[in-house]
Structure 1
């Protein structure tokens, strides 16, 4: 039988270790926040296609148009499944900069962090909700 003090210790250790493993978006982990004086975040995303690879397939390829339209590349100029607007994007400026994506009635707001590998994580607090996205100049396929 485990003594109460030992079981509490195990629980606390597991809780702290689990929380530490969940923390991704912080300077202490080698990340740099895409924020700062002026429109740093807007400038980083505007005119770029964000690419998110999952396994061997592109989970999404979304272009950040300068007018705030978010455009899904899909299959480019394909007549059946071609590029089309899927929502909007906007970013705040300053040290607390965040990007908000709106798809119909659903909105998602993130802080953006650049990783040591030059990829981008989209985070809510210290938790990466989207990991390892790359940014391409212009509107293009991520392939």
Structure 2
């Protein structure tokens, strides 16, 4: 009986609905080699989930339903945000796209998942956060994604 109660509590604690009732614990994740830093909810993204290309780290929730990648890659072609995004061949049906002189942000749904990518551009590097989570939880994630996105910095 204790196992099931613990498993249920663990699943519930990882839910954004629980996070809304309990304030998330935020930490700053930094990539010293590139000057990237970003606020991340370390009480939500509790598991390391591998290395992305370039520098950084992938994280996931305890139950694996949401993912966060913090990444820096060299901008060796000195690409603008629009050119960099075009080279990545984004899907044709992006629901949200904002391209500015120093960053881009794009988001859409793929199947039952929401994905959101933001990349900021500095002299030598592109500093990015990539987040995906279930469509059914979209409203629960709005404030979390906003804080992550707006906190992204790079030298």
With the length of structure 1 as denominator, give the TM-score of the two structures.
0.29
The structure in which a higher percent of residues are helix is 2
> Higher Cα Rg: structure 1 or 2?
1
Q: Which has the higher contact order (CA 8 A, sep 6+)?
A: 1
With the length of structure 2 as denominator, give the TM-score of the two structures.
0.27
